[in-house]
Chain A
């Protein structure tokens, strides 16, 4: 089960934070800070997993952004790396060559996209085509 997903830039600003477990606000900020410190201090040559409290972080760096997932210890990291990649691909397709600025100005849309991908801590849909179709139909409503 996924516990939270962050998109943070190299300076530590959180561009997106979605939690699938209930947490206090102060806890949330502490975690965001710790995760950023942990993830940004690791060199690119290291493995993309690191232990964090009693769970595990799976992360990947795309341009200036860190995409971090927190999962249980027994989960398969490679699968979640693939999930992160799928997320990035969907964002890319939706925003047409997504950049950080897109995420800043359209955070509510990013949340919608994320909800299509992950629901209640589990991956919901693994086909990029299906997700993009759904997003288009949602857009038409607007």
Chain B
């Protein structure tokens, strides 16, 4: 057969790998080839060893999906040792996409009902790793049965495995719940603990469904001896107390006892988390918790410190006042090297800041910036920015100080917050009139610093420079040293900045120039002139224009203006090569104005021109409220609703419909879980009245024919309307899915389509007169209309498990799956496992057809034989 006589065992292979470290790849390739040959052998022992080696290689990263079928072979051997290897391999390599999953359902079932406890346990272990919707649906009844087994480990395991089955197959939650909860009274602590773990996971996700069980949990909490269980119970209460404040009062006592008596820090921490999640109204216990937290935070163990801050973060959200005393400790921790602790401390600080100590806190935070690395610097900057802009700067009382802080933050190298800083500076300058002067002065330092311009090449400070230029231009009246400012705006370094920034600079130059000229030339306004003296501005270097006589003065002023425009013209040409159209546009605008001015000799013309220009640029820009547009009344003669062209539309076309369609089209892109999306999908699937009627009729006829053919499987027809109402879900709301196909075709749908079938009957809450049949159950055992499998976990488990079960809600019974095989001979073979679906349809009774499992290879038993099987199964169980 080509296999070497001495098969390498796992140990040999690993030793070989370790000794061949240099050419490991080659060695592994060779081993893989050997394994492939060995797996094809008929000797089970050889196969098993080969599979073990393959599992090891898989753990190192080599694909083993091609061997899936061989895994199944090894899994189905009766010898326990080999079986274990097979199951391990399956647990590691099987996933949702593995085809052969269909074959192992029966194997697992046999193991679950076996008398050998080891077989049961390895079956359960394997199932917990590879459970899929199909497996869960088929085996849940068996797992549930094991919950009442006599062996405690078995009960313990099955409780946990039930949980992962619930995740995949949520419909099982309600039927199993009662049985699960019964085991909270089990005399074995470990079983109780497992059940509590499962309940904990369920409660945390959907606490409102489990409020009624609070007394039960309370009793358990009082009697618990196991720390793990106590922790899980505390988590449960942490989830329940926000919903039910009366619970708070009840658990204060036990919680206090636990907190004071326990030695385990982990338990203590859980108590504290419970307190901060729902019990913050009770002062006594909060004080106790905070006392312990102080110890945590000041402890040298970094774990405890981190946990302390994490809990404080929660407290800060609810009761910031009580946590103020920790502010100092948090600030001190900012200098630790551990990034997790630092981030946590920062978050605590950002919740603790008040108006009074804002300055102090920010200064202390900023102290750490120079010594921090880039990521931490960004974090610190972010915290500062977010604290100060909270609630429209409600905490900031001294804006000029804050503007300086912003400029300082802008200078931080490697900062990513340029845009935010730019926005905030502009925001403050716009909204706070008194601050405009300060803003202009503050950003001046950024403007004239060539180093900053250099930094602006890359990095977000370019945005800040843009804001700087804008502010300087917009509020040019506050510019103190205009000539210097213009020179700064003309720096050659600007060319390296992004084009949008350059455009802003040019515009700023224009505005400042117009402003200067206007101030200089239009001196009719005596106030302006005196103001320019007050600012100490030196229009003309060194000269004192107050003493010249008027005519000379005017000439001088003109001269100054000419000087400035020469300066600008000289430098502005450097922009002429840029490819950006906006820059070119603005530059030519500037040039045009300057040329115009140069062409004027008479100062009166200059005055005229510039006073007009000044009027344009000095119009104040105010921020507008977001709702302002809505307040604008629509003009009477504006028509937006009438159709543009009549002849495009049918007679039946309704404008309402058109609007809905537009909405639907818009919403299709939106998340399906949003309620609007659901309505839209509803609109999509809603058929017209005619279509509905037609579909109804067809369905009824077909159903009738079906029943006549296989009468024994159907109940009396009156309340069977539900079966006729089954339809395909096109991905929308469960309730209003229209009828489109009769049930007969359901079996040929893919499993996913079946999953999406509505449990329409359940919604209508019809009472069934008799215990439900296989067929009927099949219709029920589908997931609620949730779209993607991922969302199943979140939404579908949100059911009330304590409400009494309705008639339709039962576990798929054990006999729902045929088990009577004569064992060895029925080992699935590769050839027969993939029989096409249609060949089975003719043989199988429709009861089986209805199940999607009809896809699998199945020896078709008649119904009577199957009835014999459950008796076997139950016999095997005991």
Assembly CA distance A17 to B61 (angstroms): 11
* Closest A residue, CB atoms, query B11: A105
Closest B residue by C-beta to A118? B160
A29 contacts B61, C-beta separation under 8 Å: yes
Closest to A20 in B: B129
Q: Does A138 contact B (CB under 8 A)?
A: yes
When chains A and B are docked, how far (Å) is the Cα of A112 from the Cα of B85?
10
- Residues of B close to A42: CB separation below 8 A: 338
Q: Is the CB of A122 within 8 A of B303?
A: no
Give A80 Cβ to nearest chain B Cβ, in Å.
9
Interface status of B326 (Cβ within 8 A of chain A): no
Give which listed residue, A16, A45, A48, A142, contacts B59 with CB less than 8 A. A16
Q: In chain B, what residue has the closest Cβ to A44?
A: B302
A8 to B: closest C-beta gap in Å: 12
A50 to B338, CA, bound (A): 10
The answer for the CA separation of A47 and B309 in the assembled complex, in Å, is 12
Nearest Cβ distance between residue B726 and chain A, in whole angstroms? 30
List B260-313 residues whose CB lies under 8 Å from chain A. 264-266, 269-270, 273, 302-303, 305-307
Q: Is residue B52 contacting chain A, with contact meaning CB distance below 8 A?
A: yes
Q: Is the CB of A120 within 8 A of B128?
A: yes
Q: Give the number of chain B interface residues (Cβ < 8 Å).
A: 59
Contact A122 B197 (CB under 8 A): yes
Is B60 close to A, CB under 8 A? yes
Q: Which of B18, B61, B193, B266 contacts A79 (CB 8 A)?
A: B266
A124 touching B340 in the complex, CB below 8 Å, given contacts A76-B231, A130-B190: no
**Given A77-B307, A78-B265, A119-B128: A108 and B231 interface contact (C-beta under 8 Å):** no
Q: Does B740 contact A (CB under 8 A)?
A: no
Is chain A's interface secondary structure helix, strand, loop, or mixed overall?
mixed
Whether the pair B81, A142 counts as a contact (CB closer than 8 A) is yes
> Chain A 94-127 against B: per-residue CB contact (8 Å), 1 yes, 0 no?
0000000000110110011001000111111111
Residues facing B in A49-102 (CB within 8 A) are 49-51, 74, 76-79, 81-82
- When the two chains form their complex, are residues B340 and A45 in contact, meaning their CB atoms are under 8 A apart? no
- Cross-chain contact B341 with A47 (CB below 8 angstroms): yes
Q: A138: which B residues are within 8 A, CB to CB?
A: 118
Contacts across chains A and B counted by CB atoms under 8 Å: 120
* Cross-chain contact A123 with B307 (CB below 8 angstroms): no
Set A25, A43, A126: member contacting B228, Cβ < 8 A = A126
Q: Is B555 an interface residue (CB 8 A)?
A: no
Proximity bits, B43-65, A CB within 8 Å = 1, else 0:
00000000010011001110100
Shortest B50–chain A CB gap in Å is 14
Assign chain A's interface to a size class. Answer: 35 or more
Q: Nearest-CB distance from B315 to chain A (Å)?
A: 15
- A104, B18: Cα distance in complex, Å: 10
A114 to B808, CA, bound (A): 39
The smallest C-beta distance from A70 to any residue of chain B, in angstroms, reads: 15
Q: From residue 112 to 145 of chain B, which have CB atoms closer than 8 A to chain A?
A: 118, 124-125, 128-129
CA separation between A112 and B848, bound complex, in Å? 38
- Looking across the interface, which residue of chain B has its beta carbon closest to that of A60? B303
Hey, which chain A residues are within 8 Å of B128, CB to CB? 119-120
Check: B14 CB closer than 8 A to any chain A CB: yes
Q: Using known A-B contacts A112-B84, A124-B160, determine if residue A45 contacts B231 with beta carbons closer than 8 Å.
A: no
Q: When the two chains form the complex, which single residue of A50, A74, A104, A115 contacts B204, counting CB atoms closer than 8 Å?
A: A74
B88 near A108 with CB under 8 A, answer: yes
| Residues of chain B from 45 to 99 with CB closer than 8 A to chain A in the complex | 52, 55-56, 59-61, 63, 80-81, 84-85, 88, 91, 95-96
User: Mask for B225-245, Cβ within 8 A of A = 1, else 0?
Assistant: 011100100010000000000
CA distance A121 to B265 in the complex (A): 23
* Also in contact, A120 and B269, with CB within 8 A (given A47-B305, A47-B338): no
- On whether the beta carbons of A78 and B266 are closer than 8 Å, the reply is yes
Cross-chain contact of A124 among B10, B157, B302, B337 (Cβ < 8 A): B157
The 5 sampled A-B contact pairs (Cβ below 8 Å) are A25-B61, A47-B302, A74-B235, A76-B266, A121-B164
Among all A-B residue pairs, the 9 with the closest Cβ atoms: A78-B266, A47-B306, A120-B128, A46-B338, A120-B164, A47-B302, A122-B197, A79-B266, A119-B160
Residues of A within 8 A of B (CB): 1, 14, 16-17, 20, 22-25, 29, 42-43, 45-51, 74, 76-79, 81-82, 104-105, 107-108, 111-112, 115, 119-127, 130, 134, 138, 141-142
List residues of B whose CB falls within 8 A of some A CB.
10-11, 14, 18, 52, 55-56, 59-61, 63, 80-81, 84-85, 88, 91, 95-96, 118, 124-125, 128-129, 153, 156-157, 160-161, 163-164, 190, 193-194, 197-198, 201, 204, 226-228, 231, 235, 264-266, 269-270, 273, 302-303, 305-307, 337-341
